Every structure is written in structure tokens, then in C-alpha cells.
Chain A
Amino acid sequence: MKTKTLKGGAFIIEDQDLNSFYAPEMLSEEVQQFSEMISDFVEKKVKPNFDKIDKGAHDLVVSLLKEAGELGILSASLPEEYQGLNVDFHTESIISEQVGKAHSFSVALAAHTGIGTLPILYFGNSEQKSKYLPGLGSGALLASYCLTEPGSGSDALGAKTKAVLSEDGKHYILNGQKMWITNAGFADVFIVFAQVDGDKFTGFIVEKGSEGLTLGAEEEKMGIKGSSTRMVFLENVKVPVENLLGEIGKGHKIAFNVLNIGRYKLCVMAMGGAKETFNHAVRYANERIQFKIPIAKFGAIREKIADMAISIYATESATYRTSGLIENQIQELTSNGMDKTSAKLEAAEEYSIECALLKVIGSETLDLVVDESVQIYGGMGFSEESPVARAYRDSRINRIFEGTNEINRLLGVGTLAKRAMKGELDLQSPIKAAMGDLMNMDFSEVSGDLGAEKKSIANAKKAFLIIAGGAIQKFGLEFERQQEIIMKLSDIMIDIFAAESILMRVEKKIQTSGLEGAAHDINILKVFLYEAMDRIYMKGKQAIHSSQEGDQMTMMLMGLKRFTKYESINVVETKRAIAKIYIEKQAY
């Protein structure tokens, strides 16, 4: 079934109309100019200071943030009435991608523009917006986001910080501790979450210099050493009632909604970092001579280069596909009269499943790339003289913050199940149909360009549906507690999401460049699918073995085997061909 707009999470049961698909190749010239400008800024202003920043030069981070403000980077997504540039979502994506190359500085910038600024943009009243947004956009004010506490990380709503209304009704008195607060050392504005009357989770804007607001020492971290991370202590801090953000008891809306966009952007930033590290590794592989030839000529190294490139390509395809879905939704909502800021918030919520999956995809791609890049550099990669050592240390946090990858995997499947239960998505009928297909042998011939690939992806969706349907049927309300099975389902979902995004990008490429022009992209699609179908089979088998029994189990396993079949390819030769392109280009 083809639909014009694909609802959030619906990719697992429907096909997206190719006309509504957005690929990175479609970025406009203007967006590419933004991209070059920000790349220049990172290259010339930030990169020469990486060492100083990592050694704790926070004043340098502050001055670079202000410079980024002058260039418009901090105000890009703000509305014009607050001196913002009101750019489209693709521009926001490209900003994140380029900023993602800037190591610790990128974390400071993202925390400021994302979780620091967005709560006020989305949930502030007009006085709060007028007071803070222009300064946050220019860099005159810098922001931090205080959610996590020593006793509540993933369980964010379990925060213990209290807010009590003063007797005269003019202030809230805040008491508590916040932990792992990015930008704490230099922030002017702290977005703080606290419980009003003991259990009403609520957001507040707390200003620097408020009496009773103190900071812990800088944390000694494994990576992103140049990002300021400190504890924030609140001891009888008087916060004026007009600084209450949103509504009392609705803090969870602020805390979680800004995370949808945060997760999307984390993925894009990780992808930017992955491309940069990949470029270093490919150049090094070309320069490093062993046994009298560049190591890039060895198959073992070529395979690593191909694996990294395929993973980046997959991330890029899924990212810009989502950028397109979100931008389309924003346009549709604004054409119906909604203001752009609310539209952006609503669109990100609509695609929160995709955002959660992307967070996992982006951070795990970066981890693969930094790991293999250190390996390609060999001993030199273990030295701080190489650029990949820093990349390796800085990558790890991405699987932890903005919701751990485990939380995001749970969210991907959990939100899908929730939407199905609310009747927003019809999972029931496609599950029934897929279960029915277990009995019906499919002898249909594949035809047309990418016929085998299209069929495999359609089948992979059936595999997901039978496993999910079977598990829900077996465990009922207990399904939610089967985290091991949910992890596997979400890995399958991720592979399908990525594979289909690559497929559609390749279809677009064929439309513009023909089969020959898209040969490289087709190779990537084939290898990705070849490996993904095996992964899906393995995860699926484990999920079925752990949730089914008897005839039902046998039947589902047979179905799984059929649904995860893909053509045989010479994977070694294909990966060599893929790697060759990047080795010659010396870059992604």
C-alpha cells in the first residue's frame, strides 16, 4: 500500500511513497553552503584548539560558542521574532552533522542549542521567550539542562529535587542535587526539573548567580574531556514564580519532548564525527606502508573500510529519510495554520520511534568507525598523537546520554506497541496477514530493478511482525517485561529501517543517474541486506526459541527462514569494490 505521508513507526507495516523520500543528495545549494561554512568554522577555529579544549580551557569553549552565535549557528532554529533564522529541518540536520566533527566543543554546542534552549522555545511563555531566546541565540547567554540526579538517571521522573512555593507566593524554593550537567561550569541559564508538592514533576528556569546555587568540581571523564560536566547543588534556591516553565506537573512533557529532537541530532552529530574519523583512517591506510605497499591494498583493511562506509551510508540514508519525514510533517502542519515552532515539536513527537532508533544507529555506527579506525592506525592509533585516539574516547558516551541505547531500544518497540494499543497504528491486521503467510508458500517471481531487494525487505517486515505478534500473544501484558526479546525485536526493526532507507535512496539514485551511475550504491545495498538478513534470522531465531513452543515454534522458525532469505552474492568482491571507491577518493 502506498501512502503519501508515512506516519511515525508505520514504516514497519507500510511502504513509503518514493516521492516523499528525502536523500542527502537532494540537499539544496544553500544548505550545502551552510554546510561548508560550518565545516570551515570547525576546521579553522575549533580544530586547532582541540588539545587546549580537552585540557580544560572552558573560556575558549565559551568564546567559540559566542563566535558560533555571530555566525548564526546558535539561532538557526529559533523563530525570526526572537532574532532567529527560522531555517528548515534539513538545515538543522546539516548544522548538526558538521558540528559533530568538533569533539568536546560539539557537546557544549549541542547541549546549549538543544536541551538547553529548546525547553524555553517550546514550553516557555512569551515573556520567558522574549527574555531568554535572543541571548541564547546570539551566545550572550549559555544554557544547561539539569535532569539527572545521583539517584535517577534513566528513571528521570524519579527525581528527588523539591520545589516548594514560598509563603508570599512569589518564589519556589528549590532543594536538591543534579548530576552530569553539561555546560554547568559556564552556563548562565539552568533548566532544572523538580517535584512540586512532592510529586508534581515540573520545569524551572534558574539563573546563574542565584543564591544557594553552587557547582561541584569538574568531573574526570573517559572522553569529551573538554566539555564542562559538573554537579549542580540547589540549597534553598529562590526561583521567581514567573520562571516556572510550562505547567506544574507537566515537566515530563518538557523533559521527554526535547529529547526526541535531541536523539535525532545526536545521531546526525555522531554521523558527522564518523565521517571525519573515517576520512582520517582511509588517508592513513593509503599512507602507511608495510611490506612495501600501502596497507589500504590489503584485503583485511579493505574490508574494514567497506564495513565502515556501509554503516555510515546506512546511517545517512535513515537520517535524511527522517529529516524528510519531519520536514514534510512540519510543512503540512504549518500549511494548516500551526506555527512553525509547535509544528516542529509535534513532528518530532510523531517520529519519536524513528528518532529513538536513529539514536542507536548513529551512536553504534560511530563506535564501529572509531574502533576500526584505531585498528587501522595500529600502534599509532593508541597514541594521543593520532586524531583517532580522541575520537575513540569521545565516542563512548554517545551510547549512554540522551537516553541509553537500551532505553531507546525499549522505546522503539514500546512506542510502537503503545500506538497499536491506542489504535493509532493498525498492527493487528498486518500481523494476521504475516501469520497467514506462514502457511502460504510464495512462488511469485521477483522482477524489475532491485526486485530481490524489495522482496527481501517486505519479507523482513513479515518476520518482525510474526515474532512481535507471537511474543505479544504469548506474554500478553507481561510483554513489556520481556526486555531481552524487545531488544532483539528492536535490532530487527533497526535493520529493516536502515535497509529500506538505503533501498529508497538507491531507487532515487537510479532515477537520476541510471543503473550504471548507481552501481556503487547498489553494491552497498546488496552487502547491507546480505548481512542484515542473517542478523535478523539470528535475532529472530533466539526470540522465537525463547517465546514459542511446539508446532507454533516450528512453523514460525520455518517462516523466519523463508522470510530472511536473500540472494547469494560474492561478499568479498563486492566489499572490495566498495572500498576501492573510498580509497581512491581518500574520503567518505
Chain B
Amino acid sequence: MKYLVCISKVPDTTAKISFKNEDKEFNSDGVTFIMNPTDEWYALVRALELKEASGGQVTVINVGPKDNEKFLRSAIAIGADDAVLIEANEETESYYIAKNIAKYAQENGYNFVITGKETISFNSFSLGGMIAEFMDLPFINQATQWMLNGEVSTIYKEIEGGEEVLEVTGNCVISAQKGMAEQRLANMKGIMMAKTKPLAIIPIALGEEKVQVSQYQVTPPRGNCKMFTLDQIDELVQALQSEAKVI
């Protein structure tokens, strides 16, 4: 089986978020970027586990500037066999990215395309669905487990108040979330070997950006919040009277 795992680059979870260019552009000054956690921890690691169990090839892919090579190398260090970077501008929207990944997956005969549930930067949740549409494949969103028996995938999803178990025969696109796998750290040998594995850089092939960001807005910080438990009724009344001064 051939697995294509989409790896996105996102700001570190502790990064200070600000915007520039009249709030049209994310200000990346001084921001550390990391591999998108759901791509790394769930999508990539599950693909590696399935490959380790029954053979195949795991390729990691990113659409973005040449600097993103570094994140693909990190994914290789964790265990991917090879990587592809489709060279594009920094902030590209999902439609454009999906179209290019779908084209690459189709032309190179991948059985499964796996993404993380969402990127923690723009949270669009949209890439997997678009790729599936362009490839004319079924799409299973936010999967928590994925077993593979021959051609048949058994996939678990969380639904309101319970779980849904799906069976898919043949190729499909999956977005992965918590539960799918455990984070795997690259070991030092993996990092040393990563240099020697293939990483292809190919030019962008398709499409134009259809969605433009007109403005970003920062939500104002939440005000102070104080929590009381059920047995603290007296303290609550006290606080409402003397601190909040509302009763």
C-alpha cells in the first residue's frame, strides 16, 4: 500500500499571534514553526504503523516555500520513506493546496491520502474533503481508529454520545484525530538517516488562489474568571457582593 501523508507547517502553540500589512497577513516575525500536531502525531504515525505491519511506502507531502523542507525532513526522521515538496508561496489557501496534492496522489498511485483533523493555525478542516472530491474518493473525517485488512479499512469516528464504525473498501482519504496513534519521537539515528532519504522538490502545477483573506481580527483577551464549586455558595455570594458588586 502507498500512503501519502499531508504535513502542514503551523506556528508553535505558545507563539504570540499578531498580524501585519493592515491585518491582512500573519506576522511571522519571531515565530517558531512546528509540524502540525495532528498531522505528525496521528496521520503520520498511524500510516507508519500500518506500513510496519503489512509493508508499503509512506510519503510525506507539503505545498509551500522551500524552507518547509525542514518539516518534511523531520517527518522522514520519524520514519517516512520519502518526501515531496510542491513549491508555492507562503500562505496558500486550501483549495489550491488540495488540488495540487490530489494531482500528485493520483499520478503516483497512492492508495490512501491522510491528513490531520485540522491545522492548528487556520483550523479550516477542509483539505481532506477537497482532496477526496478532486480524486473522486470517499472521505472519512476526524477518524479516531483505522484498521486495515487487505483492501478493507475499518474506521472509527466519534459521534455525539457514541461511536460510528465504518468499513471502506479500496482507496480513500482520511483525516485523523486523537486516538488514532501516539506521538512518536524521532530518534537520533532517524535524524541522521533523514539526510540520505529522497526529498523531491517539484514546481506547483495547478490552479489559482480563489480565496483571499481580507482581514484578520484578534479576539480580545477574556476577562478575569473565577470558578466556584457547589459547596462554595457562601464564597460565591460574598464575591458577587464585595468583588463584582452586582448584588
Contacts and interface: CB of A to CB of B under 8 A. Distances in A.
B162 to A, nearest CB: 30
A70 interface: yes
Interface in B188-247: 188-189, 191-192, 194-195
A134 B34 CA distance: 34
A403 B223 CA distance: 52
A71 B73 contact: no
Nearest to A44: B183
B183 A72 contact: no
A417 interface: no
Contacts of B16: 586
B185 A40 contact: yes
A34 B183 contact: no
Interface in A14-65: 29-30, 33-34, 36-37, 40-41, 44
Given A85-B192, A585-B30, A72 B187 contact: yes
B73 A33 contact: yes
Given A30-B195, A33-B73, A41 B185 contact: yes
Instruction: Determine chain A's interface SS by DSSP, over half rule.
Output: helix
Contacts of A584: 30
B77 A33 contact: yes
B185 A33 contact: no
B100 interface: no
A44 B186 CA distance: 13
Contacts, number: 41
B70 interface: yes
Of the four ranges (under 10, 10 to 19, 20 to 34, 35 or more), the interface on chain B belongs to 10 to 19
Interface in A361-382: none
B74 interface: yes
Given A585-B30, A586-B16, A30 B183 contact: no
Contacts of A37: 77, 185-188, 191
A533 interface: no
Interface in B29-59: 30
A72 B185 contact: no
A34 B30 CA distance: 21
A33 B187 contact: no
Interface in A531-562: none
B192 A30 contact: yes
Contact of A71 (B183, B187, B194): B187
Contacts of B185: 37, 40-41, 44, 71
A439 interface: no
A76 interface: yes
Given A585-B30, A586-B16, A85 B70 contact: no
Given A30-B191, A37-B185, 15 more contacts: A29-B73, A30-B192, A33-B77, A33-B194, A34-B188, A36-B74, A37-B77, A37-B186, A44-B183, A72-B189, A73-B188, A76-B188, A85-B189, A584-B30, A586-B16
User: What 9 pairs between A and B have smallest CB-CB spacing?
Assistant: A72-B188, A71-B187, A33-B191, A72-B187, A37-B186, A72-B189, A85-B188, A40-B185, A37-B185
